[in-house]
Structure 1
Amino acid sequence: MRNTLLSGTACAALCLVSFSGAARSATLDDVMARLDKIEKENAELRAKVRSLSAAKPVAAAPAPAPAVTDPSKFKGNPVLHAGVATSPAPKPGGMTIGGIPVKAGPLGPLIDNTTVTLYGSIDISGDVFNPSVYDQGTKFGVASNISSFGIRVRHNLAPYGWDGMAVVAQIESQVDFASAPTERAAFGTRDSFVGMEGPWGSIKAGKTDTPYKKSTAAMDPFTRTLGDYNSIMGNTGGDNRAEFDWRMNHAIWYESPIFNGFQLSALISPGQNEARDNSDYAYGDLFQCNGASARGSGSNFPNTGGALAGNIGGNGCTDGSFGNAYSASLTYKNGPFSAIAAFELHEQVNRHGDDGLEPALAGTPAFAPVFLADGSQVLTGTHNEWAAKVGGGYHFNDGLGDLQLNAYYEWIRREVTPAEQPFNERSRDAVFASATQKIGMWALSASYAHAFKSPGNPAMLSVNDPALAPLATLQGNLFSNDASQYAIGARYYFSDWASWYIVGSQLNQGPGAHYCLGASGHGYQVCSRDQFNNTIGGATIRAATTGMTFNF
């Protein structure tokens, strides 16, 4: 009777997932964390069943209970989140695999060793925004804000003699609900990998958000929206790409176990670039520059910046393409207090797209250097870029409900020569702070980000202030490129999985700054650019967005 109950418990634990005790979440990262916890609990349950069955052999294993098909029989969320795939069951009686004895008890055939989980996040919003550039006026939009779908697989190796170990894999893709899909929504475009997990941590290979990015991701209450902090944070020179808040291709990374509240993560990504100045595509990446998203800024797709005119192939990766990259973070959590420290290095970042010294097409002049009105030549070169940040958070109940406070400081540097310093917009400091107050089913949030002035700035082709327009072709460091972003919003939770939100955001910029709202995470960016795709400095950009999020 005892083994019968254990068998039924094991089967039920693997076939059904209950979400009645799940913490309320608005992000896919929270969903993934809960699924990880459930998978580990299932692994512990398997181990207990094996140990009990070994102590008291069972003559015959009972048949598994029939599957529940009536949604009303499920408690909590009626979606069946985890499915169990059939994997080769270890056979008792001295069988070995690769010379290793199989540790399978009488209940072994009832416990499948591979768990497959389907998950996703749907986030669609309606937006109203004003780029504040000449006569562009107020515009409306509908965005699918990095909605995604994924498959996670965990293969337990304990029955094969590897106690506490498992093979893990994931395939995740962007889903363009509101826009026409391109290669950006191809299968496996988001975090996708295979790896090993054990008591010592996990090591994985594929593509993933860097440890630098993950270390502060939970601090931003407006992720995916037009209030996303990547308008400034992790963003070296403004525009529509946050180079240090990135998903790294062809990477290998390690994640340690949590020890006394501390966890270490470290990643390395080979540049895989045959060009010494990293102006070519990385091996294995066709028509895609390193350090750029598909068809995004710096990708060498036409009109994305740095691309060679009339060409989408070879040696045109001159707008932020880099070689080897390294990223690491150390996080700490103890009760209501959390702290982070992170560092990331990009080797030999090619910025010739700013100075016109990129390789030219056959039959055209070798170079097209940029000279300013005062006769000086713009120089940016190919140099290392790095970023570092430290910060923390505190969580407590203030009588109204749970209150979460977060803040961190960030340094970004480009290691240039003294002659290039007047044109160095890639070195700057920034600060970010956010607060989220929960009251019942509501979460009220506010955030602030500020980028300090950089040492220099490449030439601005135009500025948004007509009084400064005659000076636009002089050295860019005549104009301050500091910027401040303000965001405020509210989210209402219908359940742990479905919520509605409304967010307002404003970006105030110095006359030499050209940051964007929605630089990453939103379905599109709102930038100060003219009809020729040239940046316009000093625009004040405003936006409001409302939408729904459904995680499953």
Structure 2
Amino acid sequence: MMNKSLIALAVAGVFASSAAMAAVDIYGQANVSYDAVDNDGGRDSHGVGSNASRIGFKGSEDLGGGLSAIWQIESQIAIGNGAGPYDNPGSQTGLGFRDTFAGLKSGGLGSVRLGRMDTPYKLATRGMDMFHNTIADNRSLMGIGHDIRTNNTVNITTANFSGFSASASYYGDQQGNAPQSTTGWYNSVNNTNEGFSVAGMFDSGPFYATAAYQSNSNGPAPANFFSNSDAWKAAIGYSVAQFAINGIYEKISQKNGNGDTRSWHLSGKWNLTSADSIKASYTDINNNIYDAANSGAKQYAIGYDHKMSVRTTLYALWSKLDNDSAAGYQLGWNSSGTSTSQALIGNSPSVFSLGMKHSF
């Protein structure tokens, strides 16, 4: 009887040790809002928006010598929308739709990851948008076809060296197929459905600066829009306890020589107290694709944040997108939220949104 008890304790100890070594961190975010959209003469829409709400699982294993194995599985949740329609990125809820990868990490050098993940081009300025992951996101006008998350991706990211870091990704076929080649090492004939992305960042003290470049070949852009194009951007930010201000400039050029878009964004935040802040942004795009006339747009946004705790924030915002007479940009269409406007060409949609963000 005592031998059986000893065996049971030994088995329990083995399982407990294995569980400790294979610890899994569960994390996520619930970001929901009630969005009242005015489509400027069209049918208005009111409803619950889910703004990049997510749940994720991640872990690591110490391999010795400063090297670790890392992995992550992250999925999007369309809170209030069930599975959600597949109209925009914020509605897509498949398992592992967000950053999902496995790789190796060295504390002194950086990491190598394989899987599905945000491009360095996207990450370089995503945190500089004061209204990111809401319907007032500046992606209504910026990053179209390039502010993306890609399949079949290999990424190398350096460690931070005295404030400087860099990241580079190559991504192959976006339908999930394994790379094929008849003419070289790359994905397929004519380099279709592939691209690469690089970014350099400087983050030290109150200053942040970045420059990024990305090239897509008929690949990962939503609805194949701007998908055969090159993009570059530069940005600078300044942040202290009392306030923050950011500026971004971006140019996206068609590879077939049929023009480009040029856009810029300016945003700022003023902290009234440790819990309350006001913020505002302005975004402008000049569309020169196919020499189209009157096809630019401007976006305005103002907002108020109130922190109820370290993990929970209430917010309110108003935003308007002012289209030129031949433009049809939409609020939220290229963002990570489920709410979008559906205004007609030349109209100027606006939105009032009340929301809550809770991180866990």
Same fold? TM cut 0.5: yes
TM-score calculated relative to the size of structure 2: 0.84
Q: 8 Å contact 1:383–1:415 — kept in the other structure?
A: no
* Aligned: 1:332 with 2:212: no
Q: Distance in 1 between matches of 2:234 and 2:160?
A: 19
Q: Distance in 2 between matches of 1:178 and 1:284?
A: 35
Q: 8 Å contact 1:231–1:516 — kept in the other structure?
A: yes
Q: Distance in 2 between matches of 1:189 and 1:409?
A: 28
Q: Distance in 2 between matches of 1:208 and 1:516?
A: 25
* Residue 439 of structure 1, aligned match among 231, 256, 272: 272
**Residue 265 of structure 1 corresponds to which residue in structure 2?**
167
Q: Which has the higher strand share?
A: 2
Give the C-alpha shift of residue 152 in structure 1: 0.8
Q: 8 Å contact 1:226–1:544 — kept in the other structure?
A: no
Residue ranges of structure 2 left out of the alignment (5+ in a row): 1-14, 87-91, 180-190
Structure 1 residues 324 and 396, CA gap change in structure 2 (3 angstroms): same
* Residue 216 of structure 1, aligned match among 116, 125, 130: 125
**Residue 175 of structure 1 corresponds to which residue in structure 2?**
77
Q: 8 Å contact 2:35–2:339 — kept in the other structure?
A: no
* Aligned: 1:490 with 2:304: yes
* Aligned: 1:510 with 2:324: yes
RCO higher in 1 or 2 (8 Å CA, sep ≥ 6)? 2
* Residue 385 of structure 1, aligned match among 211, 215, 229: 229
1:99-140 deviation per Cα after TM superposition (whole angstroms, max 9, x unaligned): xxxxxxxxxxxxx5443211010011111111124x42x331
Q: Distance in 2 between matches of 1:329 and 1:232?
A: 21
Give the C-alpha shift of residue 215 in structure 1: 0.5
Structure 1 residues 518 and 322, CA gap change in structure 2 (3 angstroms): farther
1:20-50 deviation per Cα after TM superposition (whole angstroms, max 9, x unaligned): xxxxxxxxxxxxxxxxxxxxxxxxxxxxxxx
Q: 8 Å contact 1:131–1:526 — kept in the other structure?
A: yes
Q: 8 Å contact 1:121–1:147 — kept in the other structure?
A: yes
Q: Distance in 2 between matches of 1:142 and 1:322?
A: 38
* Aligned: 1:87 with 2:32: no
Q: Which amino acid aligns with 2:209?
A: A
Q: Distance in 2 between matches of 1:322 and 1:547?
A: 40
**Residue 32 of structure 2 corresponds to which residue in structure 1?**
124
* Residue 346 of structure 1, aligned match among 216, 222, 234: 216
**Residue 247 of structure 2 corresponds to which residue in structure 1?**
407
* Aligned: 1:499 with 2:339: no
Q: CA RMSD in A?
A: 2.6
Structure 1 residues 494 and 332, CA gap change in structure 2 (3 angstroms): same
Q: Distance in 1 between matches of 2:355 and 2:269?
A: 18
Give the C-alpha shift of residue 282 in structure 1: 4.9
Q: Distance in 1 between matches of 2:54 and 2:171?
A: 24
Q: 8 Å contact 1:113–1:156 — kept in the other structure?
A: no
Give the C-alpha shift of residue 408 in structure 1: 1.2
Q: Which amino acid aligns with 2:255?
A: E
Structure 1 residues 270 and 264, CA gap change in structure 2 (3 angstroms): same
Secondary structure of the residue that 2:60 maps to in structure 1?
A: strand
**Residue 115 of structure 2 corresponds to which residue in structure 1?**
206
Q: Distance in 1 between matches of 2:248 and 2:78?
A: 32
Q: Which amino acid aligns with 1:149?
A: I
1:389-434 deviation per Cα after TM superposition (whole angstroms, max 9, x unaligned): 011101235xxxx2111001101000225xxx3xx5xx11000111
Secondary structure of the residue that 2:232 maps to in structure 1?
A: strand
Secondary structure of the residue that 1:521 maps to in structure 2?
A: coil
Alignment of 1:109-258 (within 5 A): 112-133=20-41, 135-136=42-43, 138-158=44-64, 163-181=65-83, 184-198=92-106, 199-235=108-144, 243-258=145-160
Residue ranges of structure 1 left out of the alignment (5+ in a row): 1-83, 89-111, 236-242, 273-280, 286-320, 355-379, 458-476, 529-535
Q: Distance in 2 between matches of 1:431 and 1:191?
A: 27
Q: Which amino acid aligns with 1:543?
A: V
Q: 8 Å contact 1:155–1:166 — kept in the other structure?
A: yes
Q: Which amino acid aligns with 2:112?
A: I
Q: Which amino acid aligns with 1:549?
A: K
**Residue 546 of structure 1 corresponds to which residue in structure 2?**
354
Secondary structure of the residue that 1:185 maps to in structure 2?
A: coil
* Aligned: 1:526 with 2:341: yes
TM-score calculated relative to the size of structure 1: 0.56
Give the C-alpha shift of residue 347 in structure 1: 1.7
Q: Distance in 1 between matches of 2:340 and 2:220?
A: 23
Give the C-alpha shift of residue 349 in structure 1: 5.7
Alignment of 1:244-323 (within 5 A): 244-271=146-173, 281-283=175-177, 323=193
Question: Which of these two proteins has the greater Rg computed from alpha carbons?
Answer: 1
Identical residues among aligned pairs (%): 28
Structure 1 residues 129 and 396, CA gap change in structure 2 (3 angstroms): same
**Residue 361 of structure 1 corresponds to which residue in structure 2?**
none
1:311-336 deviation per Cα after TM superposition (whole angstroms, max 9, x unaligned): xxxxxxxxxx9521101100001211
Q: 8 Å contact 2:321–2:349 — kept in the other structure?
A: yes
Secondary structure of the residue that 1:141 maps to in structure 2?
A: strand
Q: Distance in 2 between matches of 1:390 and 1:396?
A: 21
Q: Distance in 2 between matches of 1:350 and 1:404?
A: 33
**Residue 23 of structure 1 corresponds to which residue in structure 2?**
none
Give the C-alpha shift of residue 455 in structure 1: 4.0
Give the C-alpha shift of residue 350 in structure 1: 10
1:345-384 deviation per Cα after TM superposition (whole angstroms, max 9, x unaligned): 0024699x99xxxxxxxxxxxxxxxxxxxxxxxxx9x984
Q: 8 Å contact 2:294–2:324 — kept in the other structure?
A: yes
Q: 8 Å contact 2:168–2:197 — kept in the other structure?
A: yes
